[in-house]
Amino acid sequence: MNIKRLAGTGNPFIIGTDIPNEYFCDREMETAKLIGYITNGNNVVLKAQRRLGKTSLLMHLFKQPEIGGRYNTLMVDIYMTKGESDFIREFSKAFLNAPFTKTEKGKNALNELFPEVRLYANLNLGVFNAGAEAKLRTEYAVTLDKMFAFLEQTDKPNLVVFDEFQTIEEYPEKMSAILRSYVQKMTNTRFVFSGSERHLLASMFNESNKPFFRTALPMELDIIPEATYQAFCSRLFEQRKRHITSEAISFTYDLFTANTYEMQQVMNLAFSFTGEGKTAGIPVIKDCIQGYLLDNDAYYRKLLAQSKSVKERNLLQCLAVESTASELTSQAMISKYNLGGPSSVTSSLKKLTNMKRATVSEIGSGHFRLQDKFFELWLCDAIGILEQKYEMAADTFRKEREALRSLPGRFA
């Protein structure tokens, strides 16, 4: 990278999910909608593509006076959980981390009604021997009872977020049915179920034979509108006596198809390379991307090496070149990218989309893209077409939005 990174500027483009209001972009309508749903007694199922900002939005929601001031809030991230014991551990941790159990009164109530909370928060950390854990296993039902009983007696109502909720579908236990029985009984607790596996979440909440059928109102999180993101970036640069061109923001927005995490990452770098009084234009954005790709080269090499067969690697390359691709089993695509045959395309797609933290996402029926846009650019760089990719940024954005429109019930 040919420009020097500036130190100590207090970068306003924050990477993390606990973002102070001043640096939190938009989501006003979504925040208001969530407040309305929850304060009117509804549960919500919040769905979005990966890294669009679900968790950040929910953390932001917790800070709103209508929620943070009136509800006890708990955030339970179950992404890494594999079964009921993990679930209980994460739920216990959320109890201990929640602001309302840190007060004297909250602490006392927790000690009285659910004194084992600390023990459960430490489950699976190797502090128990197998025998002790086997004994605890028989007590999980009692523990869940205690957790929900504790919530039922709080002075204030509660808001519990289960982040990456679709994970419970992979548990060996029938966790959906168990949880459903508690959720429907609660009189003073509302729930937000959030996740990025949209198909899975939709089936959990929309199919009449599933325990969570119609227990929550659906809400889909979309991209931040371009004009809003333009104003946000300009404001943060200008406030610190720096400038950014609207072309540079548009270019980033299109190239990353408005994916919040990736745009914010690039803006964070662009800000850090722009001195006081200076202006970031498209060349700065390209330098930042190049620097990012270089810094993450080893990671992307490894990611590519996970695909052992040439056909699978060709498929990844095809997706990188096309950005959003459909008709992947057509003869034209197969011969253009040397993909083998329709059946090998199908099996590669299955593998690449089914992994946890999938490399490929199906964003509309039959439309696929690489999950990580930086990986897409890294692959294009490796075959020497990064500049062409840059020139096609607006086209990339348009293509993805069209693909998203092919999903029923979407507002892309």
Ligand X SMILES: Nc1ncnc2c1ncn2[C@@H]1O[C@H](COP(=O)(O)OP(=O)(O)OP(=O)(O)O)[C@@H](O)[C@H]1O
**DSSP string of 202-247, one letter each residue:** HHHHH-TTSTTTTSSEEEE--PPPHHHHHHHHHHHHHHTT-EE-HH
* Cβ at position 411, least distance to Mg ion in Å: 21
Do 151 and 160 meet the contact criterion of CB atoms below 8 Å apart?
Answer: yes
* Cβ at position 48, least distance to ligand X in Å: 5
Spatial distance between the Cα atoms of 291 and 275, rounded to a whole number of angstroms: 17
Q: Which is nearer to ligand X, 101 or 257 (CB)?
A: 257
Residue 15 binds which entry of Mg ion, ligand X, none, CB below 5-8 Å type-dependent: ligand X
DSSP-derived letter for residue 52 is: S
Which residue's beta carbon is nearest to the bound Mg ion? 55
Q: Which is nearer to Mg ion, 27 or 311 (CB)?
A: 27
Residue 264 binds which entry of Mg ion, ligand X, none, CB below 5-8 Å type-dependent: ligand X
* Cβ at position 165, least distance to ligand X in Å: 11
Element (H, E) at 140: helix 140-152
Between strands 367-370 and 324-325, the pairing is: antiparallel
Do 68 and 216 meet the contact criterion of CB atoms below 8 Å apart?
Answer: no
Please name which of 100, 352, 103, 47 lies closest in space to residue 221, comparing C-alpha atoms. Answer: 47
Which residue's beta carbon is nearest to the bound ligand X? 53
* Cβ at position 55, least distance to Mg ion in Å: 3
* Cβ at position 197, least distance to Mg ion in Å: 12
* Cβ at position 9, least distance to Mg ion in Å: 27
* Cβ at position 129, least distance to ligand X in Å: 34
Q: Which is nearer to Mg ion, 166 or 396 (CB)?
A: 166
Q: Which is nearer to ligand X, 158 or 264 (CB)?
A: 264
* Cβ at position 279, least distance to ligand X in Å: 22
Give residues in contact with Mg ion (CB under 5 A).
54-55
Residue 27 binds which entry of Mg ion, ligand X, none, CB below 5-8 Å type-dependent: ligand X
3-state secondary structure string across 313-349: HHHHHHHHHHCEECCCCCHHHHHHHCCCCHHHHHHHH
Residue 19 binds which entry of ligand X, Mg ion, none, CB below 5-8 Å type-dependent: ligand X
Give residues in contact with ligand X (CB under 6 A).
14-17, 19, 24-27, 48, 50-56, 196, 260-261, 264
Residue 329 binds which entry of ligand X, Mg ion, none, CB below 5-8 Å type-dependent: none
* Cβ at position 224, least distance to ligand X in Å: 7
Longest distance between any two alpha carbons in the chain, whole Å = 69
Residue 196 binds which entry of ligand X, Mg ion, none, CB below 5-8 Å type-dependent: ligand X
Q: Which is nearer to ligand X, 17 or 122 (CB)?
A: 17
Residue 128 phi, psi dihedral angles, 5° rounding = -110, 150
DSSP-derived letter for residue 21 is: G
Spatial distance between the Cα atoms of 16 and 268, rounded to a whole number of angstroms: 12
- CA quadruple 217, 220, 225, 231: dihedral sign: positive
Beta-sheet strands, E only, within 48-188: 72-77, 158-163
Token digits of residue 70: 């009136």
- CA quadruple 206, 211, 215, 218: dihedral sign: negative
What b/e readout covers 83-103, taking b as 16+ CB neighbours within 10 angstroms? bbbbbbbbbbbbbeebebbee
Q: Which is nearer to Mg ion, 17 or 329 (CB)?
A: 17
Q: Which is nearer to ligand X, 27 or 399 (CB)?
A: 27
Residue 402 binds which entry of Mg ion, ligand X, none, CB below 5-8 Å type-dependent: none
Which residues face 158 on adjacent strands?
72, 189
Token digits of residue 124: 């699976």
Spatial distance between the Cα atoms of 79 and 59, rounded to a whole number of angstroms: 16
Residue 195 binds which entry of ligand X, Mg ion, none, CB below 5-8 Å type-dependent: none
Q: Which is nearer to ligand X, 314 or 371 (CB)?
A: 371
* Cβ at position 80, least distance to ligand X in Å: 12
Q: Which is nearer to Mg ion, 54 or 242 (CB)?
A: 54
Residue 202 binds which entry of ligand X, Mg ion, none, CB below 5-8 Å type-dependent: none
Q: Which is nearer to ligand X, 55 or 252 (CB)?
A: 55
Residue 48 binds which entry of ligand X, Mg ion, none, CB below 5-8 Å type-dependent: ligand X
